[in-house]
Amino acid sequence: MLKLRAWAVSDLDRIGEIEQSSFSDPWSGQMLEGAFRSLNFIGFVLEEESRVVGYIGGGHVLDEGEVFLVAVDSQSRNKGYGKMLVNEFIRSCLDYGVKRVFLEVRRSNTTAIACYTSCGFIKIAERARYYGDGEDAIIMEKKI
C-alpha cells in the first residue's frame, strides 16, 4: 500500500540513504536537515509497505517555488512514483500562492527530464558546467 505524506525529521536517515545511492553528488545529512528546517520548506515522502521509497523537497519564496531534491529508491523506479511526488509538490505550492515552479536537472538524466516534462515542465535555460563533474544543468519551469 502506498502512502504519500509530509516529510518528517524521522525520515532524514532513509532519505539520506536514497540520496547517497541515487546521485554522484548527493546532499549530506546536514544539508538535508538544513533544508528540512527552513521556514519555507515543502517536502513529501512516499511510503510503500511503511518504508520510504521516494521523496521530494523544495521551497517557496513569494510566488515562486523550487524543487531542490527528488529521488526514488532504485528498486521502486518506473512505477510513476516520481511523477506522484512532483505533482504533490506542485499541488502544495498552490497553497502558498506559488505561480511558477523551477528545478534543475542534469542534462544526462533523461528519465527525470521525461518525468518533469510529463508533469508540465518546460526547458527554459541551461547552466554550462554547473555540476562538480562539469556536466550542464537544464533549468525547467512550470507555470501553475
Residue 25: the pLDDT is 87
pTM: 0.94
Q: Count CB-CB contacts under 10 A for residue 53.
A: 21
Q: Please indicate whether residue 116 is annotated as part of the active site.
A: yes
Give me the mean pLDDT over the 70-98 stretch: 96
C-alpha cell at 37: 528546517
Of 4, 128, 113, the closest CA to residue 67 belongs to 113
Residue of 19, 55, 81, 116 marked catalytic:
116
- Structural contact between residues 102 and 69, judged by C-beta atoms closer than 8 angstroms: no
pLDDT tens-digit profile of 113-140? 999 999 999 999 999 999 989 999 999 9
Q: Are 35 and 41 in contact (CB under 8 A)?
A: yes
Q: Which of 48, 104, 135, 141 is catalytic?
A: 104
DSSP strand pairing (64-72 vs 122-127): unpaired
Q: Could you state, in order of their start, the residue ranges of all structural domains in the chain? A: 2-143
CB atoms within 10 A of CB 33: 15
Does residue 33 carry a catalytic annotation?
Answer: no
The mean pLDDT value of the chain amounts to: 95
Query: What is 2-143's CATH number?
Result: 3.40.630.30
